[in-house]
Structure 1
């Protein structure tokens, strides 16, 4: 893990991701990794509102569905160019997120989570029942692949893999800039204490809504990439299962870290695919493994490692502050007769 610190670690991870199509046995592995990268983009957004701002949004999968259906409806029913529809997917998700955030973020803690879970279910019902717009249970068929950019086309599986990887790199870079900025510090101040953040002059409502909007924007763009990848959409994309998968990815990797959600979002789909042969019984294996992970790594893999490194650094600083014995210190004289006392 130490080798993955700093710019060197990120460059190494990027090099491995670029080289993956060269070592993947077949296109199935590329498809699984492409979907994992799409989920990683959405999980980055969920980590912003949950890990950095302290609000658990259980409608995140619903906003990913909004982005996916926006692109699908615009391209299939209205023949809007792919990249224009892609941009509008994020805009629509953030616009809906702004309205939902204004209402839901007046609540705190588990009340907020329960409210957003209801919002997610409402999104699912709208997609399933509003047949004139979403095609209902029949679904959207024939979503086009991402349009070519100059001479570069995205008709092949490797090309789509690299396209999603590029968006993941851009999304990770932007998230790094956000969380290390003054705005990111404001998000973390709200997470730590509403009262303290307000005492520092932070506008609580505006900060929470902004975090929520940026978070669902990531989900919307991830949903648009998902639609262009699978080329078919049904109401199941809006089910809460997808949100809980992203929450699981955060718990595995470590909430409130940048690398943790990326690691979890890649690990969870691969473990799920590995246990695919168990079909409905695979959760009997995956569930206890997740429980053991939470017991022994409550802050996730990356979060637990970072805390361990912080403890080591604190211990080293305490050791350096202890005064060393000086060679010039004169010996203390023993009073006469003290050795006979």
Structure 2
């Protein structure tokens, strides 16, 4: 178990995961499997952002799907209604989400705990209503049709499902690399300090509002870019993309994989959609099936698959270190005899 965890969290493990992602199209049965996996990667990218603000900073944002919809609609509106190139619109999707997240964060992050979550839940519902009712901008319930696929970059085309798959995989890999740099930097450690104890973090000199706002803005940038990729991949948008159920899905991905870890959200976001696909015949009873399973998981693996594995290893190593320390203290006393001191 220890070797497996070390492998998965080391450079070799991430290299093997990347190699598996590159090889997947060659073993996929058809284009539908590529579509399912590409969609899973897009939501994995968004879940990385939610994990940053929730898992590493301790602020449960229930408007995350709304910010993903903001990124998606930014691409849809700019490309379809205003004729901007896809990549310009894609860059602006993250910028628009960041600006909106900045102003929402200034207000919402003054609240703590459940109050913050309830406020962001309201923000997410407001974003849904704006998308649904502002027909002159968002096309309302009709949605945006005919969103262009990502523009070619030199000889690289992005028309077929396989080409789009590799494009999404590339952005997921870049997002994972950037997130790894963030959480292992001094800024990332300040996020964890705020999560562990806001009072202690403030006593150590951290500016709470600035730290939480930085985490919030970074998280919604991930959501905005995931939404931009989703718009270029699906090429049709409706108000449902802003539904709070998508935030709950991403929360489930974190809980299953391991909240506050790098590998956990990726594992949950990739595994759960495939499980859903294989349980299509239970679609009408989806929450009846997944509800008890999620409860059982939280009871027996409260930190998710990866998080519980890491905690199990930490406890095991702590017990081994304590046992070794106790043995080291007892060894000289056991080895001592009167003859050695010349007191036969």
**TM-score over 0.5 for the pair:** yes
1:259 aligns with 2:266: no
1:214 and 1:131 mapped to 2: Cα distance?
29
User: Shift in Å at residue 15 of structure 1?
Assistant: 0.7
Which residue does 1:302 correspond to in 2?
A: 306
Which residue does 1:46 correspond to in 2?
A: 50
Task: Sort the Cα spacing of 1:61 and 1:330 in 2 relative to 1 into closer, same or farther, 3 A.
Answer: same
Show CA shifts across 1:268-303 (max 9, x none): 111111111222113222222221111110100000
- SS of the residue aligned with 1:107? coil
Match of 1:56 among 55, 60, 77: 60
1:141 aligns with 2:145: yes
Task: Sort the Cα spacing of 1:204 and 1:22 in 2 relative to 1 into closer, same or farther, 3 A.
Answer: same
User: Shift in Å at residue 315 of structure 1?
Assistant: 1.2
Match of 2:224 among 220, 224, 231: 220
Match of 1:325 among 328, 331, 338: 331
1:140 and 1:328 mapped to 2: Cα distance?
81
Taking the TM superposition and a 5 Å limit, the aligned residue runs for 1:86-165 are 86-165=90-169
Which residue does 1:171 correspond to in 2?
A: 175
Q: CA RMSD in A?
A: 1.3
* Kept after mapping to 1: 8 A contact 2:256/2:304: yes
Show CA shifts across 1:99-127 (max 9, x none): 00000000000000000000000000000
When the two structures are aligned, how many residues end up with a matched partner?
A: 333
Q: Point out where structure 2 has 5 or more consecutive residues left out of the alignment.
A: 340-344
Structure 1's consecutive aligned runs of 4 or more residues displaced over 6 angstroms after TM superposition are none
TM-score by length of 2: 0.95
Which residue does 1:335 correspond to in 2?
A: none
Q: Point out where structure 1 has 5 or more consecutive residues left out of the alignment.
A: 333-341
Taking the TM superposition and a 5 Å limit, the aligned residue runs for 1:241-256 are 241-256=245-260
TM-score by length of 1: 0.96
Task: Sort the Cα spacing of 1:328 and 1:57 in 2 relative to 1 into closer, same or farther, 3 A.
Answer: closer
User: Shift in Å at residue 149 of structure 1?
Assistant: 0.6
